[in-house]
Structure 1
Amino acid sequence: MSRVRLLVFNPVLSVLDYRVPPGVDVQLGNVVIAPLGPRQVLGIVWEPDRLDGTEVPESKLRPLLEVLPVPPIAEPLRRLIEWTADYYCAPLNSVARMMLGSMAALRGGGTTTEYRLSGLEPARLTPQRAAALDALQGEQASIRELAELASVSEGVLRGMVNAGILEPVTVDLDRAYPRAQPDHAQPELSEEQQAAADQFIAAVGAGKFQTFLLDGVTGSGKTECYFEAIAAAIRDRKQVLVMLPEIALTENFLRRFEARFGVPPVLWHSSLKQSERRRAWRAIVSGEAQVVVGARSALFMPFKRLGLIVVDEAHEVSFKQDDGVRYNARDVAVIRARFEAIPVILASATPALESLQLAEAGVYQKIDLPSRFGGATLPHIEVVDLRKDEPARQHWLAPSLVKALEDRLARGEQSLLFLNRRGYAPLTLCRHCGYRFQCPNCSAWLVEHRLSRRLACHHCGHASEVPEACPECHTPDCLVACGPGVERIADEVSSLFPEARIAIATSDTLNSPEKIADFVARAEGGAIDVIVGTQLVTKGYHFPELTLVGVIDADMGLEGGDLRAAERTYQQIAQVAGRAGRGVKPGEVLIQTRHPEAAVIAALAAGDRDAFYAAEAEARRDAGAPPFGRWAAIIVSSEDEAEARAAARQIGGARPDLPDVMILGPAPAPLSLLRGRYRYRLLINARRSAQLQDIIRQWLGALAFPQGVRVAVDIDPYSFV
């Protein structure tokens, strides 16, 4: 090629043409460095006819500067990037950026220097150095990463290096990962499990696109089934991607994987330190990484020999990205498998309604595991009507749940109390003047966290100390916590049962792999009597001695801006109920509610999932909601409220008048101020026959907005907040 068209990573210019210097070999998919004005820009060599661009005369083309030493991005991944950008109305280069590691990874391997505590006892300790010593025990990373971990400046750590308190360590960036052994510890499978595993193994061997929906009750051994498919892929020298919705699930999965294959898999998620990200990315590109386990961002990694994709807990809303490129990793995983011509397994105990409808239509192949493994039985579920079995004033545990907790403590068994609300209380106000603590950056109340003694916004991260007096009327000792969070429930349990060993399991308390591992070890070792947790503990964990689950507020999920509230509530409660009775002892689930007649609660109590999904499908069909219709949202935001409102009205005024499309709004978003930006929303409801993305592109493409206005499109939204 004498000239190439690049997809470049520049926010303004995304497609540019360049000249190939004599003697330089360039292929489609090569990652290159090119000049752009006085600067340099990263780009990917793309098919010229697939990118819109102006044909520039040969004489005006500038030459490429460098072809980076990484394999070309393969055609299936380039097609996936195009599909994702087209379907989700996102810039092509924003999607492509997700597949690239750091610049250092693109440049090559080699070595880097990290630092760790040397063990030297310092003669003199400043408060900052003392804090760093406490925070960095057992840690090894770059100076920048250690500074973030210890919450001190890089200068403090460099001073510790000079004093010999921190020592340098040379790290090989391309050191090999240990090899997984497909026959390391082959399990004994039930007849149902073996039948499922055989179908997966055959699909891996055939090397054709096929989508499986593995629908198994909690504790049925879904993981063991797809582990056999992973083993088959390893034997065939193919790479495997396993996607998990939460980093918090990774630790438990790693232990199970290592027990089966002898070594841990390769990890890919945002919490990895930079040297590990570089190492993992290069191993994925070279084909050395056999099995990669990661969050949704792992989906766009440039695998060399991808042979299988597994999406575990495939119903989880965490697979939907809510900013940037607003894609659903579950759905894009299926599309990647189609482009790669490989099988994909969607595993869940509570599949999404969309997945069930595709299985019913024959698009997905549904495989059922209706029984728990090893003779364990599903827990008995009972509804607690809070209107009749009412907790004491300023308490949230009904007498029947308190009695069930008492019984488990007496028998030495474990209990789990579930409330999907972090902190101590969702609202703090002044009893004297009624002042309410609100986030200065968001239209949301500050949540009190008593463990860390702060008021925090769960949307933007703003935090402040809990004041001694009301900021409005200056009355001391007048602040009142309203409503419960998990910390308040833990306090109530502690006051009722002072001898109970209680653990709070939320993203605040389990915010690192080490803390998660410690929590799992203590729970499995019987060092915890009562776990009080959020949705973080509703899936993936297996504690054989856990025989009681109490759902504190089953009605909470039915409120707010969740467009799939009923389905989400059913999935969440069914998943947390599945933590009970996974060993030989039977389990019990108590669901506290003020609306026992609600369809979701009635279906949970009756254990009749099919009836719930049938009713939910009928309601969605009547409303033209997914999967029978299409949804999209347009979110307009600006730091200037008048500017955001004017832009939203401009969009609303230019709306197309089409028979198969209904457009609602604009209206202020329920969370009308988020991270300092005022927000307006429009919701689009379209029939499946409508060319929704083309309609939105033509509609918005004809409009111009002030520089401070952002207009985002969310295809298939999960939230209307």
Structure 2
Amino acid sequence: MAESGTSSSPGRSGATQSVSVLLPLPLAGAYDYRVPPDLALEPGDFVIVPLGRRETVGVVWGEGSGELAPARLKDVTERLEAPRMPAAVRRFVDWVAGYSMAPPGAVLRMAMSVSAALEPPRALTGYRLCAGAALPARMTEARQRVVDTLKEGPARLLSELAREAGCSTGVIKGLVDAGAVETVELPARMSPPPPDWRLPGPSLEPAQAEAARSLREKVLAGGFSATLIDGVTGAGKTEVYFEAIAAALEAGRQVLVLLPEIALSAQWLQRFERRFGAKPAQWHSDLGSAERRWTWRAVAEGDVRLVVGARSALFLPFSDLGLIVVDEEHEAAFKQEDGVIYQARDMAVVRAHQSSFPVLLVSATPSLETVQNVANGRYGAVHLPDRHGGASLPRIATIDLRRDPPPRQSWISPPLRKALAETLAAGEQALLFLNRRGYAPLTLCRTCGHRLQCPNCTAWLVEHRFRGRLQCHHCGYMTELPPSCPACNATDSFAACGPGVERLAEEAVALHPEARLAVMTSDTVFSVRAAEEMVRRIQAHEVDLLIGTQIVAKGHHFPMLTLVGVVDADLGLGGGDLRAAERTYQLLHQVAGRAGRAERPGQVLLQTFDPGHPVMQALVGGDRDRFLAEEAEDRQRHGMPPFGRLAAVILSGDSAEAVDRLAREVAARAPHFDGVTVLGPAPAPLALLRGRHRRRFLMKCRRDLAPQPLLRDWLAPIKLSGSLRLQIDIDPYSFF
């Protein structure tokens, strides 16, 4: 495409060059612009260009297309003094756009997520304790946290200090006004000490040492390879891939570590600092704007050698990336569901392949896709079959809720109550796991049966009694419990149905009022600082009984935790999701792995109504490979991933009637030939989401058929108007 116009600059002469500029907007492609004679541009340069009546920042993507005569093109306004976007990143943007069928500019926007980083660095304001100054007479807990934080290390940026101290910026400014804290000018570029790969790592056991040697050789040899680090929970997988990281740093390359939920990785960050003598750069939504700006630019300029981040870190402008590690590679959190839809694990493999360097996939419960790639020889694998330090795997047993039901209006069965009492009496720690936030998943009227539902979504409102509110977990809508039923006006008639972690905590307190209890969910652990504090309390045995959702399952090491009780082991098995059994197995295996990680043996009790289910049998029998083989056989029989291809088409709009009309038009054009099946249209399970009505199609293809060309031919004639949207999800992971 070309951006035409009549702009010109007097006094310019000589040959006119045009360039193609990709803009971080959901447009169909790049635009051509004329290069002024006094401006030299190269692919990857960040430039300011006119677009309509405004100016915007884009990236020089290559030579102009020549569709328009140079005289009809608008001039590039300015080249920004920022590092060029590396060719590897530009190739990756193009590939992701083609594969996900998203506009290239929408993908570019993820790689340009910090526009302020394109500006020259400016001096920053830091905060530190005033030397010799007395503390104010009124010292609140928040003020004391600020003082304690500033005692440990250099001056901090305002947002960084507020986050680390767990307080508002107003608390810090109040300490400045009181004369206890002062502001100082910090250099525009604050480079922390780099990780030191020469520091000795911990002593590795023979299986770990052999795995580490193999990975080091692959890193130092260079070239693309994909390797699964497959080890039981507690086998020391992190220490093994730390040796691969050390090799990459030794070779002078940059490293990216992807974690599914970076804000909950407190123990990982501690382990990294112990191993390499420095903190890694981080990239996640909890960072302040100044840190994001600095990190983005430092990565681009090569000043940051290692980044640990969430899936979006994959689009950082690494100048010399030489290793990617995807930890907990099976986690669904690596799938981006909004905007540009992509699977970060799979895109990490693509990124490594394009630039010819190794990628490591790490898991105790690898995804069936990864297991199949290992079986087919596409990926290599190293295996760690035993727990580190001689610790034994926990004993796992089921509790049949049909034979041992909990008392009425309770959720902890008698066998689990007995085990919990024995564990606490022995001075050990216990974990009760329930993957359901809040107090109760449903609130209804006892008089008329009316259920409190979100006005914007096809979802019940979840009661959060600790915070005194009802909340939708899909759109974030919040309200208070109404004084009377909206349907029948009955008062005092609402009943909480089913348990969430808050209700489970209420029961646990009634059973063991003397126990020190903590609840660990995304509602209570919402930042790195909060995660660090929670982990510290548990490790220091300031907590006897931990109650949590899935965030407790990820990599935490608590030596005194010997009992895990899963309150509703059947919770994830319904809903028709093709990965329901696999996901449930992975989650329960991971949470079971929190028990008995040191010298004390652990036990895991799974409360279930179906102890004969293959997932429960595999967990009790410790036979993961048999479970995966049976799951693979079932998927292959039905032509489902990884033995077939899926693509979802989601239609949405403000009007249900308009969406249905669009769905009929799309259905009429659906392809019909061998190897391709189109299912739908059907209302999405969440037929109303954030106020938009939704209909879904599902295209199922043979493994040897790429769905993208089929989708382009099918959907190209479809014209959207008004609020109607059409979204494509290649390789869908969820079906909400």
Task: Work out whether the TM-score is over 0.5.
Answer: yes
Matches within 5 A, 1:675-694: 675-694=690-709
- What is the CA–CA distance in structure 1 between the aligned matches of 2:682 and 2:598, rounded to whole Å? 50
- The secondary structure found in structure 1 opposite 2:55 is strand
Counterparts of 2:144 and 2:714, CA distance in 1: 56
1:193-272 map, 5 Å: 193-272=208-287
Q: Is it true that 1:381 corresponds to 2:399 in the alignment? A: no
Identify the residue that residue 79 of structure 1 maps to in structure 2.
Answer: 91
Q: How far apart are residue 221 of structure 1 and its match?
A: 0.4
Aligned equivalent of 2:381: 366
1:641 to 629, 648, 656: 656
Q: 1:144 to 1:335 in 2, by over 3 A?
A: closer
1:27 lines up with 2:42 in the alignment: yes
Give the equivalent residue in structure 1 for 2:676.
661
Which one is further off, 322-331 or 164-173?
Answer: 164-173
Counterparts of 1:412 and 1:183, CA distance in 2? 40
Aligned partners of 1:561 and 1:676: how far apart in 2? 24
Equivalent of 1:59 in 55, 71, 74: 71
The Cα shift of 1:247 comes to 2.1
Greater mean alpha carbon deviation, residues 1-10 or residues 322-331:
1-10
- Paired residues of 2:146 and 2:172 also in contact (CA < 8 A): no
Letter in 2 for 1:110: R
What residue number does 2:336 align with?
321
Partner deviation per Cα, 1:403-455 (whole Å, 9 max, x = no partner): 11011001111111111100010001111222211111111000001111110
> Following the alignment from structure 1 to structure 2, what is the Cα–Cα distance between the partners of residues 581 and 158?
42
Letter paired with 1:305: D
**Residues 173 and 275 of structure 1 are in contact (CA less than 8 Å); yes or no, is this contact kept in structure 2?**
no
Cα distance in 2, alignment partners of residues 462 and 393 from structure 1? 32
State, as a whole percentage, how many aligned pairs show the same letter. Answer: 49
Moved more, 359-368 or 7-16: 7-16
| SS at structure 1 position matched to 2:219 | helix
- Is 1:104 paired with 2:105? no
Measure, in 2, the Cα distance between the counterparts of 1:689 and 1:191. Answer: 41
Match for residue 643 of structure 2 among 624, 628, 631: 628
Tell me, in whole angstroms, the C-alpha distance in 1 between the residues paired with 2:120 and 2:668.
Answer: 52
Partner residue of 1:94 out of 98, 101, 106: 106
Question: Is 1:674 aligned to residue 726 of structure 2?
Answer: no
**Deviation of residue 81 (structure 1)?**
1.1
Q: Is the 2:446–2:495 Cα contact (8 Å) retained in structure 1? A: yes
Number of residue pairs matched by the alignment: 711
- CA shift, 1:224, in A, is 0.4
Q: What letter corresponds to residue 428 of structure 2 in structure 1?
A: E
Map 1:564-579 to 2 at 5 A.
Answer: 564-579=579-594
Q: Report the alpha carbon displacement of residue 691 of structure 1 after superposing the two structures with TM.
A: 2.6
> Quick one: which amino acid aligns to residue 24 of structure 1?
L
Q: Are 2:722 and 1:707 equivalent residues in the alignment?
A: yes
Alpha-carbon distance, 1:145 to partner:
12
CA contact (8 A) 2:22 2:59 kept: yes
**Residues 1:70 and 2:117 are matched in the alignment:** no
The corresponding residue for 2:497 is 482
- Measured after TM superposition, the shift of residue 97 of structure 1 is 1.3
Structure 1 residue aligned with 2:444: 429
Q: 1-side partners of 2:450 and 2:161: how far apart? A: 40
Aligned-pair distance for 1:169?
Answer: 5.3
Query: How big is each residue's C-alpha offset from its partner over 1:9-58, in whole Å with a ceiling of 9 and x where there is no partner?
Result: 23446421111122322111111111123211211111348xxx671101
1:562–1:113: structure 2 CA closer, same or farther, 3 Å change rule?
Answer: farther
Distance 1:569 1:476 in 2: 40
The offset of 1:150, in angstroms, is 10
Q: 1:150 to 1:241 in 2, by over 3 A?
A: closer
Q: Report the Cα offset of residue 114 of structure 1.
A: 6.8
Work out whether residues 429 and 544 of structure 2, in 8 Å CA contact, stay in contact via their aligned partners in 1. yes
Tell me: CA distance 1:411–1:122, structure 2 relative to 1, closer, same or farther (3 Å): closer
2-structure distance, mates of 1:667, 1:452: 37
Of 178, 184, 194 in structure 1, the residue corresponding to residue 199 of structure 2 is 184
Q: 3-state DSSP class of the match of 1:475?
A: coil
- Report how far residue 173 of structure 1 moved: 3.6
Residue 386 of structure 1, CA deviation: 0.5
Q: 1:274 to 1:558 in 2, by over 3 A?
A: same
Where does residue 347 of structure 2 map in the other structure?
A: 332
The residue number in structure 2 matching 1:127 is none
How far 1:121 moved relative to its partner? 10
Q: Which amino acid aligns with 1:600?
A: V
The aligned counterpart of 2:10 is none
The 3-state SS of whatever aligns with 1:96 is: helix
Maintained 8 Å contact 1:504/1:533: yes
Offset, 1:141? 6.0
1:357 is the counterpart of 2:372: yes
Alignment partners' CA distance in 2, 1:60 and 1:157: 57
Distance 2:599 2:277 in 1: 27
Asked if structure 1 preserves the Cα contact closer than 8 Å seen for 2:166 and 2:529, the reply is no
| Equivalent pair of 2:143/2:172 in contact (CA under 8 Å) | no
2:430 and 2:177 map into 1 onto residues whose CA distance is 49
Helix, strand or coil for the counterpart of 1:98? helix
Give, in whole Å, the separation in 2 of the partners of 1:400 and 1:173: 60
Aligned to 2:311: 296
Question: Secondary structure of 2:587's match?
Answer: helix
Q: 2:717, 2:309 → 1: CA distance? A: 39
The 1:360–1:64 alpha-carbon spacing in structure 2 relative to 1, beyond 3 Å, is same
2:533 counterpart of 1:518: yes
CA pair 640-122 structure 1, distance change in 2 beyond 3 A: farther
**Any gaps of 5 or more consecutive residues in structure 1?**
125-129
| TM-aligned CA deviation for residue 112 of structure 1 | 3.6
Residues 435, 679 of structure 1: alpha-carbon distance in 2 compared, 3 angstrom cutoff = same
Contact 1:561 1:719 in 2 (8 A): no
Aligned alpha-carbon RMSD (Å): 2.8
The one-letter amino acid paired with 1:196 is: A
The farther-off stretch of 244-253 and 371-380 is 244-253
Alignment CA distance shift 1:13-1:367 (3 Å): closer
Structure 2 residue 614 is matched with structure 1 residue 599: yes
Rate the CA distance shift 1:529–1:46 in 2: closer, same or farther, 3 A.
same
Moved more, 643-652 or 391-400: 643-652
* Aligned equivalents of 2:186, 2:660: Cα separation in 1: 53
CA distance in structure 2 between the partners assigned to 1:116 and 1:644 by the alignment? 57
| Deviation per residue, 1:307-348 (Å, 9 max, x gap) | 111000000000000111110000000000011111000000
Contact preservation (8 Å) 1:120, 1:164: no
Unaligned runs of at least 5 residues, structure 2: 1-15, 151-155
Q: Deviations over 1:547-577 (max 9, x none)?
A: 1111111111011253310100010000001
Listed one character per residue, the Cα deviations across residues 351-385 of structure 1 (whole Å, up to 9, x for unaligned) are: 00000000001000011111111101111110111
| Conservation of the 8 A alpha-carbon contact between 1:143 and 1:158 | no
Contact 2:258 2:308 in 1 (8 A): yes
Following superposition, the deviation at residue 472 of structure 1 comes to 3.1
One-letter amino acid of the counterpart of residue 95, structure 1:
V
1:506 matched to 2:521? The reply is: yes
* 8 Å Cα contact 1:563/1:720 also seen in 2: no
